Amino acid sequence: MLKDKEKTLKIIQKLSEIQGPLPFSLKTRAWLNESDKAEQIDFITKASKYCNKISIHGRTLKQLYTWEADRNFISEIKKTIETNWDSECKIIWNGWITSYDDAENKLSEFNLDGIMIGQAAIWNPRIFTPHEPNHSEKLETVLKHLDYSIACDQRFDEKIANKSWEITIQDLNIPLERLETRVKENKNKSDLQPHTIVEFRKFLFQYVKWIPWSKEWKQQVLTCKDYQELKNQIISFFEWK
């Protein structure tokens, strides 16, 4: 779909017609590589006729998560839609938002309709407020999320064991006190949810992004499969900072 713009546009048009009065949105990026950007601007502006909202990641597929998002690319699309097209489609910036102030500045500078934040909310969970967390606050957040990850996995394991396949909102909205108790009951077990520990490591590295020596520290935790060992590693890293 990234390569066949004409076919993709027809699909978007058809889906928007099926949606009827319901809102219809699209998420895309600055296409495959640098040379595709001009065509992509044309494609997005045409697609805006059928969408209520388009979120644009300002990097090409080749760039992935490297390099800063192309602000000129997103700005050009916003201007083109407002100037040349009869469309009320809202344009949302996605990619390389590093702080609350950064988000506000981009909204103001480029007259955007909104900001979408993904990975940045992991290494800075307070990105949605002006407050910048210190190391102590980051440590508290990481440990809490580690415990909650284990507790949630245990909850899902219980549902599967009881052959209860349906997951309701009530199941997901377990009170925090119950989650904490569920973890504390198992804290001394070395085999405490080993698959959760392995999965959590992937997100853990986002929490320490941009902190000095975090790359070197990652090598020390890559083999951690034990709850207490991982917890001690996390505490040591943040307290050393």
Average pLDDT of span 36-52: 85
Q: Where are the alpha helices (DSSP H) in the chain?
A: 5-19, 37-47, 71-84, 100-109, 120-123, 135-161, 169-172, 176-184, 194-207, 214-221, 227-240
User: Is 235's pLDDT higher than 90?
Assistant: yes
pLDDT score of 236: 92
Model pLDDT for residues 155-203, shown as the tens digit of each residue = 777 766 776 656 565 665 665 666 667 666 665 555 566 788 888 988 8
* Rounded Cα distance, 89 and 101, in Å: 25
SS3 115: strand
Q: How many CA atoms lie within 13 A of 70 on its CB side?
A: 22
Task: Please report the sign of the dihedral spanned by the C-alpha atoms of residue 7, residue 8, residue 9, residue 10.
Answer: positive
pLDDT score of 1: 67
Higher pLDDT, 121 or 232: 232
User: Is 52's pLDDT higher than 70?
Assistant: yes
Higher pLDDT, 165 or 7: 7
Model pLDDT for residues 99-132, shown as the tens digit of each residue = 899 889 888 888 889 998 887 887 777 888 888 8
**DSSP letters along 71-99, please?**
HHHHHHHHHHHHHH-----EEEEES---S
pLDDT score of 187: 56
Output the average pLDDT for the chain.
79
Structure tokens at 45: 């502006």
Average pLDDT of span 65-91: 74
Q: Which of 89-103, 139-153, 188-202 has the lowest mean pLDDT?
A: 188-202
Instruction: Look at domain 5-123 and name its CATH class.
Output: alpha beta
Q: Where are the domains of the chain?
A: 5-123, 135-240
CA 1, chain centre distance (Å) = 23
* Rounded Cα distance, 70 and 57, in Å: 9
CB of 206 within 8 A of CB of 119? yes
Strands 90-94 and 114-116: parallel
Buried b (16+ CB within 10 A) or exposed e, 216-240: ebeeebeebebbeebbebbeebbee
Average pLDDT of span 31-56: 81
